[in-house]
């Protein structure tokens, strides 16, 4: 479970990356002198808030241990000044802590804010430490809520949602952190940051998009990866695999699920022109899971035969949620992604029975924010009830936390730049939801070329949720973002290290959407130079 949650970390499923891009660059002000003392600066309360306290503590650095479920460590962190500002919204009885860590030497002149993971609004110390190590003055906020799976704040009474803390988590606390963090930087260093950035994955990715949509002047650049946008819809949609298994009364094992995934990857591997263990464009993979019916697989030493019922479950999960009349509600789990993430099951009981084990993030959303009842049994949801819950979530929460407004004209006008990478094998947040949003932005703003002027999307073949943060490969999106913001050079590709189906590292230049990668016909398939980006119509 720890590995599962760690992979989640940067945004929802949990996503505060244990690894962050380095984006090392020359300091804007040379080697910034250490403040005469690490003392609490004067902080003005952001609009609608009251400052409850401001503290400053000089920290020696060294090894930073991440708190909570996610944990993680950062080593060799230089000494820093830790400033904590506690805010409240009068009448809300909330207490949101904004932490800013400021390197005492070698500040690079930049400000960076970091997002949260799952139901945590901010970082657990790992991204803060990494930011300081790379020369950034780094800020995060807890929004007054708890750790990644701490939802004790959701309800303030029987059947009553805590709307104050939900609003904090959904939108306003990130903006307030931007305002406070920049003021702290000015107060401690005696000068404002030359550039400001936001970084996050999953929940953090959603927060980045919320900033671009609602507070377009907060940041010069936003790196928002595997974003949990369309929250009101995708959270319910990701409970679909459990609903399918429970209604079909069929629970394939992890081993059987893997057999389907492996077969699909093998069948669609060559669509990019070469067999390299990666599916470059899963949207073109039309593998029919029924082709595996009758195949025998060995799971935990036992030989099992893939059944028609198994194939039917996988087909529904890949297809995604639909109404009982067949209307598509949301994209399904991408072909090539680990089906065990959302379609997890318990180990067989003494009588051999198996039950579904829902991923906690969508299960909690349905129990607490939709049913307003922690005891609600999600395993009893029928297909028709699922549709009702999906529509209820849209109606009640789209405007609060949907984060799907395609009008980014104010962000574009502000000069802001937005980069997103999303794994094509994301097992928790369907990749096509991000693609759909990008298409909506293009329709809203006129053309793909116009959107490319400030917003670029990169899809990563074979990559899991927030995987390029070091879990399943790597890419330095922050370096690309700073180059774009500070030197005007837009990234045509995003260099990355990917992990293919054989577990081997390969280099790839991720293509700027909608272009896809295709083998040139010669060269080592493990090298990026053997591929080129082409339009989907030529792929």
Q: For the segment 122-161, what is each residue's pLDDT rounded down to a tens digit? A: 999 999 999 999 999 999 999 999 999 999 999 998 889 9
The pLDDT of residue 21 is: 47
Q: What is the pLDDT of residues 56-109, one digit of tens each?
A: 999 999 999 999 999 999 999 999 999 999 999 999 999 999 999 999 999 999
Catalytic residue list contains 487: no
Instruction: Give phi and psi for 320, each to the nearest 5.
Output: 100, 170
pLDDT surpasses 50 at 25: no
* Alpha helix segments (H runs only) across 168-253: 173-189, 203-214, 231-237, 240-248
d(CA 518, CA 143): 44
Reference 158, options 348, 334, 331, 373; nearest CA is 373
Catalytic residue list contains 426: yes
Reference 334, options 286, 378, 282; nearest CA is 282
The pLDDT of residue 387 is: 98
Active-site pick, 272, 310, 426, 476: 426
Q: What is the mean pLDDT of residues 383-398?
A: 98
Instruction: Point out which residues pair with 269 in neighbouring strands.
Output: none
Residue 338, SS3 per DSSP = coil
Active-site pick, 272, 465, 476, 539: 465
Q: What is the pLDDT of residues 155-190, one digit of tens each?
A: 998 889 999 999 999 999 999 999 999 999 999 999
Active-site pick, 117, 173, 196, 202: 202
Catalytic residue list contains 465: yes
Reference 234, options 7, 438, 13, 69; nearest CA is 13
The pLDDT of residue 538 is: 57
pLDDT band at 300 (very low <50, low <70, confident <90, very high): confident
Residue 324, SS3 per DSSP = coil
Residue 9 vs residues 72, 77, 498: alpha-carbon distances, Å: 11, 21, 19
């Amino acid at each position: 479970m720890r590995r599962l949650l760690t992979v989640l970390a940067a945004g929802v499923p949990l996503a505060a990356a244990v690894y962050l891009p380095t984006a090392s660059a020359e300091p804007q002000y040379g080697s910034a002198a250490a403040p005469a003392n690490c003392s609490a600066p004067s902080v003005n309360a952001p609009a609608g808030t009251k400052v409850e306290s401001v503290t400053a503590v000089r920290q020696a650095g060294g090894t930073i241990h991440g708190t909570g479920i996610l944990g993680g460590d950062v080593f060799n962190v230089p000494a820093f000044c830790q400033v904590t500002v506690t805010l409240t919204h009068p009448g809300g009885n909330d207490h949101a802590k904004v932490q800013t860590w400021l390197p005492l030497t070698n500040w690079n002149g930049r400000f960076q804010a970091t997002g949260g993971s799952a139901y945590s609004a901010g970082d657990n110390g790992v991204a803060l430490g990494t930011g300081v190590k790379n020369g950034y003055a780094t800020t995060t906020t807890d929004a007054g809520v708890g750790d990644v799976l701490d939802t004790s704040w959701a309800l303030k009474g029987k059947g009553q949602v805590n709307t104050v803390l939900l609003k904090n988590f959904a939108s306003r606390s990130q903006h307030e952190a931007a305002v406070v963090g920049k003021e702290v930087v000015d107060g401690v260093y005696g000068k404002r940051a030359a550039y400001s950035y936001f970084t996050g994955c999953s929940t953090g990715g959603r927060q980045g998009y919320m900033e671009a949509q609602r507070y377009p002047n907060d940041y010069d650049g936003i790196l928002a990866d595997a974003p949990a946008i369309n929250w009101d819809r995708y959270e319910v949609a990701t409970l679909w695999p459990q609903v399918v298994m429970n209604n079909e009364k069929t629970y394939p094992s992890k081993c059987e699920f893997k057999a389907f995934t492996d077969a699909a990857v093998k069948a669609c591997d060559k669509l990019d022109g070469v067999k390299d263990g990666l599916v470059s464009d899963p949207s073109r993979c039309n593998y029919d899971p029924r082709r595996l019916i009758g195949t025998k697989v060995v799971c935990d030493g036992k030989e099992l035969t893939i059944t028609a019922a198994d194939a039917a479950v996988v087909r529904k999960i890949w297809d995604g949620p639909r109404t009982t009349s067949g209307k598509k509600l949301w994209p399904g789990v991408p072909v090539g992604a680990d089906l065990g993430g959302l379609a997890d099951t318990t180990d067989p009981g003494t009588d051999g029975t198996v039950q579904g084990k829902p991923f906690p993030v969508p299960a909690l959303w349905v129990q607490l924010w939709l049913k307003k009842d922690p005891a609600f049994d999600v395993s009893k949801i029928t297909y028709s009830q699922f549709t009702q819950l999906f529509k209820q979530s849209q109606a009640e929460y789209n405007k609060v936390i949907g984060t799907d407004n395609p009008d980014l004209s104010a962000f574009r006008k502000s000069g802001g730049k937005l980069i997103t990478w999303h794994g094509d094998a994301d097992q928790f947040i369907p990749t096509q939801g991000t693609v759909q949003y990008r298409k909506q932005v293009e329709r809203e703003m006129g053309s793909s070329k116009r959107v490319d002027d400030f917003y670029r999307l990169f899809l990563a073949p074979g990559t899991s949720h927030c995987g390029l943060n070091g879990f399943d490969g790597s890419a330095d999106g922050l370096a690309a973002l700073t180059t774009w913001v500070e030197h005007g050079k837009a990234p045509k590709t995003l260099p990355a290290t990917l992990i293919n189906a054989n577990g081997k590292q390969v280099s790839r230049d991720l293509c700027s959407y909608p272009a896809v990668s295709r083998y040139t016909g010669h060269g080592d398939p493990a090298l990026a130079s053997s591929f080129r980006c082409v339009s989907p119509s030529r792929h």
